[in-house]
């Protein structure tokens, strides 16, 4: 049975999507920077609000307010350009891994960075639910045992909340936080 993504302009969307074969593909800082660049590009182009994010070794969490923009369009503009450039990076620097991440489609082989399917999308309607998801997102590296302090993890929007630096990319911090 197909899964449908619900587009509700009044809801925040908490998204989780994983790397192909659940591999630890985000251990490389170059790919983390590349993902953040493509996320920022999509946000600038489509004008959605990004409330929180974290890049984990084998998955990504995003919390955003899409407004009237369809989630399918947002996900396409985030995931597709990143996957294309990640494929070029792997092909040049890690050809064996590039082949391992390729899947056959008909007669052609195609690089796949993301796990098949749209990922997981949870709709959030209350400020309390949004705040809980922001905390969950920022504490994810601690739960994984990657760091003991979220300030030490560079691939999270925690820094935008703790010191408002907006690094590595800015977020749209809700005024009620």
Nearest to 167 by CA among 43, 135, 175, 156: 156
Three-class SS of residue 159?
Answer: helix
- The values of phi and psi at residue 105, to 5°, are -120, 105
Q: Is the distance from CB of 126 to CB of 140 less than 8 angstroms? A: no
Domains of the chain and CATH, by start: 12-162 (3.30.70.1290)
Q: Is the distance from CB of 68 to CB of 76 less than 8 angstroms? A: no
Q: Can you tell me the distance from the alpha carbon of 5 to that of 162, in angstroms, rounded to the nearest whole number? A: 32
Nearest to 49 by CA among 135, 174, 139, 142: 174
Residue by residue, pLDDT tens for the chain (177 residues) are 344 457 888 899 999 999 999 999 999 999 999 999 999 999 999 999 999 999 999 999 999 999 999 999 999 999 999 999 999 999 999 999 999 999 988 888 889 999 987 788 899 999 999 999 999 999 999 999 999 999 899 999 998 888 766 678 889 987 776
Q: Is the distance from CB of 87 to CB of 98 less than 8 angstroms? A: yes
Range list of H helices, 23-169: 29-46, 71-93, 95-100, 127-143, 158-162
Q: What pLDDT sits at residue 2?
A: 42
Structure tokens at 47: 């004008």
Q: What pLDDT sits at residue 105?
A: 83
């Amino acid at each position: 049975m197909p899964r449908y993504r619900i587009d509700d302009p009044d809801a925040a969307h908490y998204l989780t999507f994983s790397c192909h074969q659940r591999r630890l593909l985000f251990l490389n800082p170059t790919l983390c920077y590349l993902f953040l660049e493509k996320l920022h590009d999509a946000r600038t182009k489509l004008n959605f609000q990004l409330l929180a994010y974290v890049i984990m070794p084998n998955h990504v969490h995003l919390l955003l307010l899409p407004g009237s923009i369809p989630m399918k369009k947002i996900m396409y503009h985030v995931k597709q350009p990143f996957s294309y450039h990640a494929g070029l990076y792997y092909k040049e620097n890690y050809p064996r891994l590039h082949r391992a991440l390729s899947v056959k489609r008909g007669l052609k082989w195609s690089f796949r960075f993301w796990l098949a399917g749209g990922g997981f999308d949870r709709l959030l309607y209350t400020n309390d639910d949004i705040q809980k998801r922001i905390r969950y997102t920022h504490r994810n590296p601690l739960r994984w045992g990657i760091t003991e302090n979220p300030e030490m993890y560079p691939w999270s929007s925690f820094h935008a909340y703790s010191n408002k630096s907006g690094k590595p990319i800015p977020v749209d911090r809700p005024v009620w936080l």
